[in-house]
A and B are shown apart, each in its own frame.
Chain A
Amino acid sequence: MSIQYEAPLADSFGVADSFPKDFGYGEEEEEEDIEDNPTPSDSKPRILLMGLRRSGKSSIQKVVFHKMSPNETLFLESTNKIYKDDISSSSFVNFQIWDFPGQVDFFDPTFDYEMIFRGTGALIFVIDAQDDYVEALGRLHLTVSRAYRVNPEINFEVFIHKVDGLSDDHKIETQRDIHQRANDDLADASLEKLHLSFYLTSIYDHSIFEAFSKVVQKLLPQLPTLENLLNIFISNSGIEKAFLFDVVSKIYIATDSSPVDMQSYELCCDMIDVVIDVSCIYGLKEDGTGSAYDKESMAIIRLNNTTVLYLKEVTKFLALVCILREESFERKGLIDYNFHCFRKAIHEVFEVGVSTSRTSTQPAGTPLMKTVALNGTPRSTV
């Protein structure tokens, strides 16, 4: 396997590993109590992570959004405050992840759950599959029905978590059982319209990333457009599979319509890691400034099974990662031209997003979109 970098990888700002979490918008603390004055960004769609204590919520958050290695999550302290993590500054995903401590009964009257659920896009309820989940199901029902009453637009996602310890049969059996019971509970409460989606997840493989990808994709209004763009792009360039990645979290926010194969997804994730790591070491300027991922970022990795991996920057937060065969890669000029068109189209898609959000009553949405539009420009000009 050879890696060739075709362009200098640095010339802007940032530090190694390098998506400064506190990038701009100083109004947010990392930990913020819920009773604080709602900042403008509170109106952003939120992803809530909920579940019983020790079900793995903080681990999920750390692994997916903070690149923590799964083994290190063993040493995480249990969360005792609501941990609000705004990742919109470093990631494409314009969402806040709220990690609720498991032991807090937030239906306590002191909590304003109306406010919590109102701006929520998706509620992820984490169930520990290795534990007895009866209690968790009760809690799930309670949470979901309350949330649904406040805001019926929420996507309810259930992560059946820690399935790495279960055998394949057991996994299906658990999913079936949880599904059955949860839906029976809802039917008893005549809430049939409330729809739960179930995912089997584990932080020790990429299933948690895939599940998160699906959750995020459901919240993206542009998804069909992105998918179509990718379809067109790959069919005209002879590419086997293409993912549009959020670089910092390795969530794919869109892919073409062919089925996602876990191996190829993992391969692409690994490629991003490699590229960012190498560019952190060699891509920064001598004084340590510069960004590991910027406008010039691109990489080509040739595998020994006549497959080529191709990564290219699309926007400040997004990268396109493709898997293609060596013979298709002979027409690199064509691919590059198609990519150019594709990139322009993506930018246009999000331009629309900017203009609509400008006209809408979401002042907080704009800064991000602007950065997308002004992709690659130095921070000072944003």
Chain B
Amino acid sequence: MEKMTRVSTVSGHTMFCHLDAPANAISVCRDATQVVVAGRNIFKIYGLEEDGFTERLNLRVGRKPSLNFSCADVMWHQMEENLLATAATNGAVVTWNLARSCRNKQEQLFTEHKRTVNKVCFHPTEVYMLLSGSQDGFMKCFDLRKKESVSTFSGQSESVRDVQFSIKDYFTFAASFENGNVQLWDIRRPDRYERMFTAHTGPVFCCDWHPEDRGWLATGGRDKMVKVWDMSTNRVKEIYCVQTIASVARVKWRPERRYHLATCSMMVDHNIYVWDVRRPFIPFATFEEHKDVTTGIVWRHQHDPYYLLSGSKDSTLYQHMFKDASRPVDRANPEGLCFGLFGDLAFAAKESLMSGPSSAGDVGRKTYPGGDRRYPIFFFKKPDVREQFAQVSSALSVFESEAGSSVGMDWFINTAQSYLLSGKPFAELCEHNAQVAKRLNRPQESTTWTMLRIMFSEPANPSLSSNHNLNKSGNLPLVNSFSMKEMSAALNERNKENRQDNLHSLETNLNNNDENEETEGSEGQAEYLFGDAELDDDDLYSMEHDNHAAEEPEYLLPQEAFPLRHEIMDHPSAPEPVQERPESPHVSGSETENTCLTSTESFSLISVSQLLFSPHLPPKFFCPIVKEMLCFYAEQGDVQMAVSVLIVLGDRIRKEIDELTQEHWYMSYIDLLQRFELWNVSNEVIKLSTCGPIMCLNQTSTTLHINCSNCKRPMSNKGWICDRCHQCASVCAVCHHVVKGLFVWCQGCSHGGHLEHVMEWLKQSKHCPAGCGHLCEYT
């Protein structure tokens, strides 16, 4: 209780006073009534009154100011209230005794350091012991009853930036260095440090022992980090790390708050931050009063967490009240929302929100352990709920989309993998893609492809007529169907087209087997049968419109149903299994969807019939429509369609759409593909794009890091000779010949070889063929 009464004597509000010159350091006396400010051109003592600072004493006396007054650091003794020590930039350590009766209060002068003294520190309990740390790399311990230092500690690692006596361990002090090290010393053993560890990259500017936790040391450095170390264990352990936005010049633990510390920076950033080390990404509180770099911070009383004093280069001295601090967390948005790749949705919010509004109030309070004891002393209007800062916890919920639901992106992957973008005549590409789209239950895309084919195919396209797939006598190539259309009803035409689509797809599926299964006639019948299976469905809805559509080939279809089944079952083992496998069992299922096809298809019907009456329209005529269509798809979010069409149409449409839009589409599509790890597809898209910036993508920073298979070192040279072991690195581990062409290797052990050899090998064994014992993984 004694503590409390003492604390309650401290009161005041946020206030400041102007100094004559920039301050370098400040320190308070033990009873928190006076503060000393030291700088290059200032050395004064101010009294802390209820309503402001009052200047008590100017210690810079004498006509010709000595360099000894130019202070880099100052410390007020915590036991002896008349005793101060300063560190001068010329290497002098000066002690001052306020009890002296004359104007010059200087008591002792130690000029043992050669370079600037950066820090002085009194022992927290021992009256006469003073420690200094200097730029010259030495720390000296002074006994104030003697004229010179009693011991010298050589850090042997550059300038000392800070020295601090441990509060709990009588003999221990910590020193931080410009090369990033922190050393622990025993005051009795000046020959060698007890412990040393590298704490930061770049200089460590400050350190501070935790006032309560034995062995906790906070360090701040130029690498913009504050780290809290636990020294009590055998191995020094980093337990917390706070990332700030500028190099950390001072760090001070907040009294009575176990996890709080205050920092200020030496460059750029003028604010003082109070952090909760458990929540290192957002400051607990910020004081934004200073207009220039803050150079010194100190908590006014060692048991009072609500008053912070600070001195700055803008020549002001501030007293900050904690209740006046700004709380950045109040402005932060505590909710987050993100869509996953496969349609999952993650949502993070405060637990209180998630658990329902009724309990919202309690959650925060309940989880705050043991901080409330001290509140009754203070009569803030609002009991200090905000001290519970660190306890804000949030809940993360992930909503997974059901497999196969419409949100899923399976269609995207399938489509991306199945679409053909080049390598075949235009009409065939469209045809194929239409088929793919249809198979994946995307009638609109399918129709679009079909229409594109019709629009842009030349009426006398020789590539189609020469197509070896369409060599069936009963089959009219597409071009011919155009000519027929002129004579027959449009509906009829459409129907026939449908059939041909089906046929066509079948043929493309089968065309690899053509040679083998040339059992005369049966193949053709199988195709027709398949076509008919779909056609029947078509007929279901188009029956009313066309009765006279029946033509010879169609009549042939039903005759041989069973061979067809066989064919379908065979498909999965056909050379293109990827797109087939998931779909083939669902053939009938997908066709049930055809009922909904009607509207779009009949829409397409109209445009087709338009075409019919003006068969000689140049393809250019359609460009505006196609462009609109592409934009429509892109806006719908189906950038895949837009890009695919763009690539397939190539020159036919490219000039219609401005470069930037194209680039945008390409980039979006490539980005999507890469997220789904469809590297091959994305590469193909990049390759096929006609957009300058996109094509460049493959030319920039494509680096391949390779290891030598013998010595496992990175290969630095071009070529395949390792310059360390002078052997060829690309030897097949299976056949021991040099690999030319495709070389595949395990990224773990660097061994590999001919693709086919390795594949064969892996069928027998999981271990590396080179015998290194590695369990190779190939992706």
Contacts and interface: CB of A to CB of B under 8 A. Distances in A.
Interface of A: 54, 131-132, 168, 171-172, 175-176, 179, 195, 197-200, 214, 223-224, 227-228, 231-232, 235, 256-264
Interface in B90-111: 90-91
B266 A261 contact: yes
Contacts of A131: 713
B72 A257 contact: yes
Given A172-B198, A231-B116, A257-B115, A54 B266 contact: no
Given A175-B180, A235-B70, A227 B115 contact: yes
Contacts of A168: 201, 223
B136 A224 contact: yes
Contacts of B178: 259
Contacts of A176: 197-198
B118 interface: yes
B158 interface: yes
Contacts of B180: 172, 175, 200
Contact of A231 (B90, B156, B222): B90
Given A195-B156, A198-B179, A261-B247, A235 B116 contact: no
B87 to A, nearest CB: 10
A259 B67 contact: no
A175 B198 contact: yes
Contact of A179 (B67, B118, B198, B222): B198
A261 B70 contact: no
B114 A224 contact: yes
A168 B241 CA distance: 12
Interface string B129-143: 000000110000000
A263 B245 CA distance: 13
Nearest to A240: B313
Given A179-B198, A197-B179, A200-B201, A231 B70 contact: yes
9 contacts: A171-B201, A176-B198, A224-B91, A235-B70, A259-B178, A259-B203, A259-B205, A259-B266, A264-B267
Given A235-B70, A257-B135, A228 B201 contact: no
Contacts of B199: 172
Nearest to B293: A240
Contacts of B70: 231, 235
A200 B223 CA distance: 13
Contact of B41 (A198, A228, A235, A261): A235
Contacts of B415: none
Contact residues on B (Cβ < 8 Å of other chain), bracket: 35 or more
B27 interface: no
Interface string B537-578: 000000000000000000000000000000000000000000
Given A235-B70, A257-B116, 10 more contacts: A172-B200, A195-B157, A214-B158, A224-B136, A228-B91, A231-B116, A256-B89, A257-B72, A261-B247, A262-B222
B157 A197 contact: yes
Contacts of B89: 228, 231, 235, 256-257
B40 interface: yes
Contacts of B158: 197, 214
B72 to A, nearest CB: 7
Contacts of B114: 224
A179 B267 CA distance: 30
Contacts of B496: none
B115 A261 contact: no
A264 B267 CA distance: 9
A200 B181 CA distance: 12
Contacts of A257: 72, 89, 115-116, 118, 135
Contacts of A259: 161, 178, 203, 205, 222, 247, 249, 266
Contacts of B118: 257
Nearest to A210: B202
Contacts of A195: 156-157
Contacts of B267: 261, 263-264
B268 to A, nearest CB: 8
Contacts of B136: 224
B716 interface: yes
B716 A54 contact: yes
A228 B117 CA distance: 11
Interface in B227-269: 247, 249, 266-268
Nearest to A171: B201
A132 B115 CA distance: 39
Contact of A227 (B41, B116, B716): B116
Contact of B201 (A172, A197, A256, A260): A172
Interface string B191-222: 00000011111110100000000000000001
Give the one of B41, B201, B713 with max A CB within 10 A: B201
A153 to B, nearest CB: 15
Contacts of A171: 201
A312 to B, nearest CB: 21
Contacts of A179: 198
A195 B193 CA distance: 14
Give the one of A171, A199, A258 with max B CB within 10 A: A258
A261 B222 contact: yes
Interface in B328-371: none
A223 B91 CA distance: 13
Contacts of B222: 259, 261-262
Contacts of A214: 158
Contacts of B713: 131-132
Give the one of B156, B203, B267, B713 with max A CB within 10 A: B267
Closest 7 A/B residue pairs (Cβ): A257-B116, A235-B40, A224-B114, A231-B89, A176-B198, A261-B267, A224-B115
